[in-house]
Structure 1
């Protein structure tokens, strides 16, 4: 730890993409961008800055774009500050940025892995997702999963007040009025092509596990919090947990709660829209509220 504080770099996932992202980075790392372009077969800079084909929101393109921009952002952050973080964490595809930063694989290997992941997830079409705002997960569980519609499941535990559900699109549509009637402030359908982080990704997860088996991951130099376990990755379980991540909930709330146990944690988001920073602040508020109630008692 540095100066009695804990530095945590966090990387956002899908939903954080925007035209213009990476504008200040591409020309600083032209050799990496050129090599990444050769792997995927198109200009990532053009995709991010102009998106002439209108594909930046398609999963197979989104994930590559975010991985490249977030990775370059991390390199620039370290170059400017000259300090490595104490912990790394990322949301869904952002977890691969955290693993790159920790030394699990080099930048170009990460491009290959993420391109395959995006391709597999794009192929698993037919499902949908929706963000449920203002309803705690234990109440959502009354209507989703074994206690309710068992074709729906919780996919992202983003904060105490933001939970994402996944499943067949028609089931999502039927669940929206039910959740609103029972206390949800909002239920927002997400622009995704499939039910990510749910059992509907089982086939993609298995194929991704086999693909990852081609690579030899290096030992992590910095602890990375796993989306699947909400605890630091163990080197020997890395490939298994990354495949399970595709079909299991992203446990972001628990991940942040774990990091909040360390001395004066400082969360730095590598991205332009502060999406994860807002979630971290919501989680901090909830944790502090619970602590306050406990202290009063």
Structure 2
């Protein structure tokens, strides 16, 4: 039985999320390190106003993911694999030992700024539930154009998909999706068109920044949420981190890959539990749990019991 730590992308963030980290010396040490790396008080990043900005959201998700995962590890729960959706790949890379925390803070700040500057308004992501990939791609073909760009961005489950593009184009696709049997459409709390060619240029700039960064071989498997492959080579992890903003997310295949590698316990780091529901669909003979909804002590006991089986 193997254990997977998962880290969410943008969407489940909430005001004061860094203020609600465990009140421990471990949490404070990471906040202090983040302050030094960023050159500002990171506890100013999680106000309702601050979280309107992509940079602030991504930094909060990085810090939160690392701190919660380190608390879980301190309780004796060690991952065999880590995987993150979009920005979640960065705390995953820190926890598996491939990327230094301070370096991740600086890179994520740059990542958020690049994405924010590329599309300051009028673009984003929308979720569509109830259609399969081929069905949705036919609708995208009807709308997508240079003036109205829209693309398939995430394959979260076989019938849970996300599109990226201009607000107007996404609205048209959502209307068509509803007319063609979609159960639900919803614009997400993400202000940039992630995981498509619209972010090729920002991704290339982030890749340039990675040229001056040295990554290490991970101590556990780094499972890409884009390619659904497990990477051990530092250069492949760097490439995955730099370009994942412009590459389609394939969380469904990533979780299939984890299950095939004998993962039977997947734990999602706060905030939220979106990945938990998606992962449980695949892990038919295992458990997917959210640390937002399950105490660390309970997870530690459960992991020990499962390992003895």
Instruction: Assess, with a 3 A threshold, how the Cα gap between structure 1 residues 112 and 26 changes in structure 2: closer, same or farther.
Output: farther
Which of these residues, 176, 181, 186, is aligned with residue 174 of structure 2? 176
- The equivalent residue for 2:101 is 107
TM-score by length of 1: 0.87
Pairing 1:24–2:21 present: yes
- The equivalent residue for 1:239 is 238
RMSD of Structure 2 on Structure 1 (CA): 1.9
Which of these residues, 66, 70, 74, is aligned with residue 69 of structure 2? 74
Deviation at 1:210, TM superposition (A): 0.3
Which residues in structure 2 correspond to 1:265-284 (within 5 Å)?
265-284=264-283
Superposed CA deviations along residues 154-206 of structure 1, whole A, max 9, x for unmatched, are 11111122110011222112212111101111111123222111111011011
- The equivalent residue for 1:134 is 130
Superposed CA deviations along residues 70-128 of structure 1, whole A, max 9, x for unmatched, are 101111110112x4211111111111111101111221111111111111111121422
SS at match of 1:184: coil
Which of these residues, 34, 50, 53, is aligned with residue 32 of structure 2? 34
CA distance in 2, matches of 1:114, 1:244: 13
Quick check: 87-96 or 231-240, which moved more? 231-240
| 8 Å Cα contact 1:228/1:244 also seen in 2 | no
Superposed CA deviations along residues 230-252 of structure 1, whole A, max 9, x for unmatched, are 11124132222223211111110
- The equivalent residue for 1:290 is none
Which consecutive unaligned segments of at least 5 residues does structure 1 have? 286-297
Quick check: 271-280 or 194-203, which moved more? 271-280
Pairing 1:257–2:251 present: no
Superposed CA deviations along residues 53-81 of structure 1, whole A, max 9, x for unmatched, are 61113210000011001101111110112
CA distance in 2, matches of 1:32, 1:260: 32
Instruction: Tell me the matched-pair count.
Output: 276
Which consecutive unaligned segments of at least 5 residues does structure 2 have? 285-309
CA distance in 2, matches of 1:68, 1:203: 26
CA distance in 2, matches of 1:57, 1:224: 30
Instruction: Assess, with a 3 A threshold, how the Cα gap between structure 1 residues 107 and 264 changes in structure 2: closer, same or farther.
Output: closer
TM-score by length of 2: 0.84
